[in-house]
Amino acid sequence: MKTILVLHTGGTIAMEEDRETGVVKQQQQNPLMHYSPDLLGHVKLLVEDVFHLPSPHITPREMQTLQLLIDERARQQHLDGVVITHGTDTLEETAYFLELTLQTDIPVVLTGAMRSSNELGSDGLYNFLSAVKVASSEEAKNKGVLVVLNDEIHCATNVTKTHTSNVATFQSPQYGPIGIVTKRSVVFHQALLRRERYRISQAAKRVLLLKAHAGMDDMLLGAAEQLPLDGLVIEALGQGNLPPATVPALQRLLQRGVPIVIVSRCFNGIAQDVYSYEGGGKQLKELGVIFTNGLSGQKARLKLLVALEAAADVSEVARMFS
């Protein structure tokens, strides 16, 4: 008998559609609270309603609450896995935060739904059943935090929401899913080669995320200089380049000791210090800007937030991204 801890946090999977207006709204109680999937008696569910929040209301504070709760439960009792139901808008961010900070090796699986509980073609129950299957699978051990929807298993580091409403929204650009869920089994065909894990006591740093565009000047960066900023992530152009008008403000922020992380606004490829013109990646790297290895902007922001809590200085933060 496998024991799976189920943590409900809200989201579309816990909502319903108003038949008259078509709007989707929260219910007083999560419809999955008392649902027990038929897995031939092989799984025991321990169910907790941790939050009842739409995912845009989830912050690093709630993410850390989940991390502390899971690590505490894993220490106190025998668990074979954890399933978290979550709204899809920020699901990938919670999954990646847990990937960076959880101290347990038991399978932790996040799932959600694109259609609410009473909509035609609702996918919540099916995704929940698939997530329980994966969390109770022996093959899921030591694979890191996983995201399971639409019969696919993705790792938290690479997965992202790619469509506003399609049930196949969660994809891993460049890499694809690491496994699939079938009617009879859970099948893995690849895994991450390298994982990271950090111990942090809080997640309270102020890290800003900006997106570069043609003709970008120093207006937003100048405003950022006036903020009590701990770190900055920029989704840069191409392989990691910025318009030249941004460079003076970047230099001033770096001189203040604010770590600046560059990712690409492209969802395939990685940011690299290749171009040597004004604002090019080579110049930015020489100034002290940190380049990532394929993270999205939202995940780089979370990693910088965690790194600032875990590292002793900016040089150590830079090493965490290398």
Active site residues: 12
Name which of 179, 181, 169 is nearest 128 in CA terms: 181
What tokens appear for 15 in the block? 């909502």
Q: What is the 3-state secondary structure (H, E, C) of 84-136?
A: EECCCCCHHHHHHHHHHHCCCCCCEEEECCCCCCCCCCCCHHHHHHHHHHHHC
Angstrom distance (rounded) from CA 128 to CA 177: 18
148's CB contacts (< 8 A; 6+ apart) are 109, 110, 111, 127, 130, 131, 134, 154, 181
Q: State the Cα torsion 135-70-90-213 to the nearest 10°.
A: -110
Sheet with 108-111, edge to edge strand ranges: 43-49, 2-8, 81-85, 108-111, 145-149, 152-155, 179-181, 186-188
322, exposed or middle or buried, with CB in 10 Å at 0-12, 13-18, 19+? exposed
